[in-house]
Amino acid sequence: MKRLVLVLLLFCFAASTYAQSISFFDLTNLTNLSDGQAHTYLTLGKVFKHQYQEVVNGKKIEHFRSINPKEKEQTVTIGVNTVLQNQTVLRSITYTTLDPQHVVNMISQAKRSKMTLKFQGVNQDNNIFIFDNEFYRIEMFISTSDNRGMVKINQKEFVGY
């Protein structure tokens, strides 16, 4: 009985060690929300707080930071949009973390979601993973020199048949 309790405690500790504030699926869903809805989604869960906003080329870009001081810093950037001629808005979300394990977890989640791995390689700074499907192009980077990682999700224009 004592062994079972010890194993359960170790499992819970290990699970909390690599807890990340947002999942791959949450990030892809954020691209489908307006900037206001994404802002509300990120702050309502009390996991991220609004850090600052900036205006770049007339676009309001908002930066959010994880709240939990026990976790390594994670940030989400929203507001990078492209407006097409037909007034469709394509959104991009950027997620950065100081724990590369979070990006490794997202790579696993992307593979489980049947995203197609289009490229896997290394340059002098990063391990690079590029996933693609009809709706998103996802670039994931794990630094080879620092403890950090980045995920960039770009919404694609969907062309129906």
pLDDT of residue 21: 80
47-84 burial: b if 16+ Cβ within 10 Å, else e: bbeeeeeeeeeeeebbbbebeeeebeebbbbbbbbeee
pLDDT of residue 1: 55
Mean pLDDT of the chain: 85
Q: Is 106 helix (H, G, I), strand (E, B) or coil?
A: helix
Which are the contacts of 74, defined by CB distance < 8 A and separation ≥ 6?
20, 21, 22, 48, 65, 66, 95, 96, 97, 98, 99, 102
Phi, psi (rounded to 5 degrees) for 27: -65, -45
Q: What is the mean pLDDT of residues 55-61?
A: 88
For the ranges 6-10, 88-92, 107-111, 126-130, the lowest mean pLDDT is seen at 6-10
For the ranges 8-22, 57-71, 82-96, 138-152, the lowest mean pLDDT is seen at 8-22
7: pLDDT strictly greater than 60: no
Tokens representing residue 92 in the block: 């991009």
19: pLDDT strictly greater than 90: no
Q: What is the mean pLDDT of residues 60-78?
A: 91
Task: Name the H helices within 18-119.
Answer: 24-30, 35-44, 100-112
Q: What is the mean pLDDT of residues 76-99?
A: 90
Query: 56 or 131: whose pLDDT is higher?
Result: 131
Report percent pLDDT > 90 for the chain: 57
Domains and CATH numbers, the chain: 21-155 (3.30.1460)
